[in-house]
Structure 1
Amino acid sequence: MAVPTFVDRVTLHVEAGRGGHGVASVHREKFKPLGGPDGGNGGTGGSIILRVDPDVTTLIDYHHSPKRKAANGGQAAGDFKNGARGEDMVLTVPDGTVVTDPQGNVLADLVGPGSELVLAEGGRGGLGNAALASSKRKAPGFALLGEPGEAREIGLELKVVADIGLVGFPSAGKSSLIAAISRARPKIADYPFTTLVPNLGVVKGGDITFTVADVPGLIEGAADGRGLGHEFLRHIERCAALVHVIDTASIEPGRNPIDDLDVIENELSRHGGLEDRPRLVALNKVDVPDGRAIAEMTIDEFEKRGMKVFEISAASGEGTQQLIYAMAEIVAASRKDVPTVAPTRIVLRPEGVEGKNGFTVKISKHGEYLVRGPQPERWVRQTDFENEEAVGYLADRLNRLGVEKRLVELGAVEGDTVIIGDPANSVVFDFRPSIDTGAEMLGRRGEDQRFYEERPAASRRREIDAGMETKEEYEARADIARRLRDGAGPVSYEIGGEDDPDNDWAENDPAADSGQRTGE
């Protein structure tokens, strides 16, 4: 099976690099017991960029390797060490490459050397606990995860950037002509459809240098799929003018130069978009028997249609110089009307969502609350759900954004299902109204006390209050707290009763009879 050398349509799957994870660490140094957090930030993942390279003429590299992935960002470390940035992946494409989405919508038309399109941006690196420290969280026990890089499926379609397009029947001599007027060396043979892919040649006419595209031949019914169809006509859509190359020496029955031109014009009109291009007519093969006579018989008809006609022979070079100057004149005029194309850089970004706060909340038919928006979805991706303090931080962020308030306004109650993100890649929560974290809510590193029904501080206060109900008048609140701490449990005896361990101490106290207690 023949290996293709020219590919002008491919489907490309790209994935940018993932951002590196942040690190939660504490600075450790002699004589500095409270060194503080020093976790670094993760590196940003590498992006995938399309760039126009004038030396590239085909998309064959992406035909063989349609999946591309950029490098991930580096992991962070302690001592404020940030992760390395992932290297960007630059994919070179020919001038005139059109980028489309899976639905066929045009995303970008890359014209001009150096033009760039950022297909997929690398994921952001996660923040370390040093960057997350605040007046409320002086030493966070968590860090944020790196975000995954963007992933896309796109189509690449090459539309050759040429100034002049050669059209005509198969074996009319288009490839011979481009070989005669340029240094292009296309395949030439005496059978139809020798040319299967477009050929480009650079031609110099006086002070003007321009490119000429030779596309495979057209036959009647090409719009319906006959021959090679209209597959390659898109390569002449950018041309400033078209040259009809007509075979004056054809021996096929029923063919003549006038009818050949009418058939080609009909196929061009069915393709569409080429009606306003100037036309030139090159009557080829005037060096063969009867070729010149047939050409002279048809010149008047072509001129009546307002077309410039040239009698040429691609084999001998006769008349080609006059044709070159006519093409150069059209190209020079067209370039005056078109501004110079400067290299551009385009970045594909996701569409925004409705709502001034950057998120929307909708109720599904199953009663689930669907939260969508760039901010909440990104925060969810950054959260390490194995770390309770990180989950509490996510709850605070969503609360400050107004997500919880909006859920309550829509009638959400505790236990309802809340889905954040795209249904295909979402996170599901059971709604549980929360409060903002504060200093009194902090627990050990990596924990969030709001996730515990019986918080130690609250339980301790309830036990003290219970003990106060049976205390004697001289007993202080601090004494009960001390007993609870030393005894590792609540008061299980009546103060002053038989089981009170302080009874022996009170009996041996010399000041007991005088109504005073020592140790106060």
Structure 2
Amino acid sequence: MSRFVDRTSLTVVAGNGGNGCASVHREKFKPLGGPDGGNGGRGGDVIFVVDPGVHTLLDFHYRRQAKAGNGKQGQGALRNGAIGGDLVMAVPDGTVVLDEDGEQLADLVGAGTRFVAAQGGRGGLGNAALASTARKAPGFALLGEPGQERELVLELRSLADVGLVGFPSAGKSSLVAALSSARPKIADYPFTTLVPQLGVVSAGEQTFTVADVPGLIPGAASGKGLGLEFLRHIERCAVLVHVVDCATLEPGRDPISDIDALEAELARYTPGLGGDLGNRPRIVALNKVDVPEAAELAELVTPELAERGWPVLAISTATRAGLRELSFLMARRVAEYRAALPPPEPTRVVLHPEAVGEVPFTVSPDPEEEGAFLVRGEKPERWVRQTQFSNDEAVGFLADRLAKLGVEDALAEAGATPGAPVTIGDVTFDWEPSTPAGAYTAMGNRGTDARLDRSTRVGAAARKSARAARRDGGAEPEDEGEDGGDG
């Protein structure tokens, strides 16, 4: 028998984008072929898809990490890198995706429903895409962005129409077995049901599903027993049925006190669920009336329960007494619930465009270091991730982009001085104001930037001037000595 898993944690890692390529076309008789580096491929996504053939989260219980394919690096001759393969994972209908803080990200209901759990990183641009009138042959390319990594929690909330609640050994599993073709474990000891059981019931023209969860006991909302661990499976139920054991021999128990205790536990636990179980229609099934004492007790408490506005039926799963009436009553309640629902709408793609006038970045003092600043924003952080800092020309290109965005002006207004530590994303550097964005900058060799040239090596022209100065200086004492000798 396969293991039932209805809650598990999972780490999803999307694929990294491929790096762009820095290449120059070389061909005989074409000395100025120009840049031809291709773009890197996009990283693969991690996608959850509802599959009606999957009924448990067992596969995710043994596979705690899911990683999509990485994009490939671009190549010369304008060849773009291959796109990383998406990782598509099948989940049961009714799966809820939560983040590590418990916030709901998606409620996957309906066959084929898809949810992108982690987005792949974008590929870096090659130098062919970075060429411009001012930079005709870039000696650099952009790096691919890392894929999104998230810690998720998956919960299975079964799509049952009717939920059976009751104390242990109240006969819930026997009722599911009597009404449907499901064959849950049935025994004469408490907590026989350790996992939720679903059964399909037909009554007239109506077909609906019934969920049997482990028995509830007083104090379940505080962690006692097993039932509250599986109450998420009746959260979506249209009708709740109290299955009451009228033949119990335990002292201090009777149908009224059992129902009141269960209602109190449901009320205490309801705030932890996404739905409100307190407003769901109730049906009371007084079970085991095949026992004479139980039949007398059921007849005694029926008027009091009926005063609450709940339908009350006396049933016996052993003799099948009252089961037909119960199944048709549940079918009517389910039909009323379905008729009250709004008409289903096709799944729509929701776009979230950026707000007009939204601040693209913020500059704030670094609380951990005096005189340092933090720059936060999607664009600056993404540009830093794409930059290859071992290439001076790439760093100069980053400086141009930041200056054009207004980061340098914002730093100056915030009081930053040359040499102040500035942190963008995971990179900290000493801020040196560069030329204004859009101003002409003399380009040097590929991979270099004159603004970042901090070399202390003496150039050839300087060495030549030094030699000439030494020759001139050495000649003067020699002339002075000759004159002195003649004197």
Q: Does structure 2 retain, via aligned residues, the 8 Å contact 1:220–1:264?
A: yes
Structure 2 residue 431 is matched with structure 1 residue 406:
no
Distance 1:333 1:237 in 2: 18
Distance 1:341 1:13 in 2: 33
Distance 2:441 2:50 in 1: 59
Q: Give the equivalent residue in structure 2 for 1:321.
A: 324
Letter of the structure 1 residue corresponding to residue 328 of structure 2: Y
Cα distance change on mapping 1:99 and 1:339 into 2, 3 Å: same
Letter of the structure 1 residue corresponding to residue 406 of structure 2: G
1:341: how far off? Answer: 4.6
Letter of the structure 2 residue corresponding to residue 287 of structure 1: D
Deviations 1:60-92 (A, max 9, x none): 211111111110011211111111111111222
Letter of the structure 2 residue corresponding to residue 427 of structure 1: V
Distance 2:76 2:301 in 1: 85
Distance 1:252 1:454 in 2: 90
1:352: how far off? Answer: 8.1
Distance 2:339 2:428 in 1: 60
1:144: how far off? Answer: 0.6
Of 229-238 and 437-446, deviating more is 437-446
Q: Give the equivalent residue in structure 2 for 1:415.
A: 419
Q: Does structure 1 retain, via aligned residues, the 8 Å contact 2:213–2:227?
A: no
Of 130-139 and 89-98, deviating more is 89-98
TM-score by length of 2: 0.88
Distance 1:4 1:61 in 2: 11
Distance 1:438 1:115 in 2: 51
Q: Give the equivalent residue in structure 1 for 2:278.
A: 275
Deviations 1:253-283 (A, max 9, x none): 3322222222222222222332111111112
Q: Give the equivalent residue in structure 2 for 1:432.
A: 432
Letter of the structure 2 residue corresponding to residue 447 of structure 1: T
2:155 alignment partner, SS class: strand
Cα distance change on mapping 1:231 and 1:346 into 2, 3 Å: farther
2:468 alignment partner, SS class: coil
RMSD of Structure 2 on Structure 1 (CA): 3.1
Q: Give the equivalent residue in structure 2 for 1:195.
A: 193
Letter of the structure 1 residue corresponding to residue 92 of structure 2: P
1:97 pairs with one of 85, 95, 105: 95
Letter of the structure 1 residue corresponding to residue 286 of structure 2: L
1:246: how far off? Answer: 1.1
1:29: how far off? Answer: 2.0
Q: Does structure 1 retain, via aligned residues, the 8 Å contact 2:215–2:227?
A: no
1:310: how far off? Answer: 1.7
Structure 2 residue 313 is matched with structure 1 residue 310:
yes
% identical equivalent positions: 59
Q: Does structure 2 retain, via aligned residues, the 8 Å contact 1:117–1:348?
A: no
Q: Give the equivalent residue in structure 2 for 1:445.
A: 446
Cα distance change on mapping 1:433 and 1:324 into 2, 3 Å: same
Distance 2:417 2:255 in 1: 81
Cα distance change on mapping 1:170 and 1:440 into 2, 3 Å: closer
Q: Does structure 1 retain, via aligned residues, the 8 Å contact 2:94–2:109?
A: yes
Correspondence list, 1:73-472, <5 A: 73-228=71-226, 230-272=228-270, 273-342=276-345, 344=347, 356-365=358-367, 366-367=369-370, 368-421=372-425, 426-435=426-435, 436=437, 441-453=442-454
Cα distance change on mapping 1:156 and 1:416 into 2, 3 Å: same
1:260 alignment partner, SS class: helix
Letter of the structure 1 residue corresponding to residue 302 of structure 2: I
1:226: how far off? Answer: 2.4
1:339: how far off? Answer: 2.7
Distance 1:406 1:459 in 2: 40
Cα distance change on mapping 1:132 and 1:274 into 2, 3 Å: same
Letter of the structure 1 residue corresponding to residue 364 of structure 2: K
Of 228-237 and 157-166, deviating more is 228-237
Deviations 1:393-427 (A, max 9, x none): 11111111010111111121111101001xxxx10
1:203: how far off? Answer: 1.5
- Which consecutive unaligned segments of at least 5 residues does structure 1 have? 464-486, 500-520
1:286: how far off? Answer: 2.1
Cα distance change on mapping 1:83 and 1:36 into 2, 3 Å: same
1:210 alignment partner, SS class: strand
Q: Does structure 1 retain, via aligned residues, the 8 Å contact 2:46–2:88?
A: yes
Cα distance change on mapping 1:165 and 1:264 into 2, 3 Å: same
Q: Give the equivalent residue in structure 2 for 1:492.
A: 468
1:322 alignment partner, SS class: helix
Letter of the structure 1 residue corresponding to residue 397 of structure 2: Y
1:372: how far off? Answer: 0.5
1:356: how far off? Answer: 3.5
TM-score by length of 1: 0.83
